Amino acid sequence: MARDIVLADGAAWAVPEEVPVALVYNRRNYAVMLATPDNLGDFAIGFSLAEGIIHNAGEIEAIEIVSQESGTDLHITLNAERLERFDLIQRRRNLPGRAGCGLCGLENAESLTAPLPPIADRAIEISLVALATAMAALPDWQPLNARTRSVHAAAWADADGKLLTSREDVGRHNALDKLIGALARDERDASKGFVVMSSRCSYELVEKAARAGLPAIATLSAPTAFAIRKAREARITLYARSKGRFVRVT
């Protein structure tokens, strides 16, 4: 979603929308994110999975998207069992709202030092041909970025590097949440491919991938040292592009 503006020199430019998106679970406020207001149903599912609020999409009974002048509310209805767990988590948090890259209360602050559980017995290997194929195809899966040149994409590729789906957002973390939600909604096996992202790899992307069972991430630029440590804990394979080719980082 983009808006056309006129610059001072009279030239036209398309800029992406960025609005507050409030996530409300069974009438309980949880977080406010700044996000591109499209594919918000996928965002609701993916965010819920990445935050550990749900374990699978079936634990969400309904999603209502309410657009307002000030932003968008996502009213998410959890089933009774998951709502009970959600209330236990909420009592240990202090989360009036946040931006996507910040810490989000006591529970997530503690998780910074807590090791991620491994998602597999060993890290997987992606062929360099598959990585190059997926990254070369990525621009064709970025219609919003083609207009604005200022949003991130998270795409899903099969083992051969064929892209199967993609989501865009002003925030790389939101783009990954949307992708995770789309994979869960379509009941795709997250272990049968890898993620391609038009950004660097930060620690929160690794944590989201671990919770979603994503085995490998390829990014356009290098990961942080903290992201590398987290990926090794979770046995997630990281690749980054360096000097025109992909290198394996973990």
Contacts 24+ apart (CB under 8 A), 48-51: 48/23, 48/76, 49/180, 49/181, 49/184, 49/211, 49/212, 50/176, 50/177, 50/180, 50/207, 50/208, 50/211, 50/212, 51/211
- Secondary structure letter of residue 118 according to DSSP: P
Task: Quote the Cα angle for 79-83-88, to 5°.
Answer: 160
Residue 40 near residue 22, CB atoms below 8 Å: no
Query: Using CA atoms, how far apart are residues 31 and 24, in angstroms rounded to an integer?
Result: 7
Strand (E) or helix (H) holding 46: helix 40-50
Annotated catalytic residue, options 5, 66, 99, 101: 101
Could you confirm whether 201 is annotated as catalytic? no
- Cα–Cα distance, 141 to 105 (Å, whole number): 35
Report the catalytic residues: 101
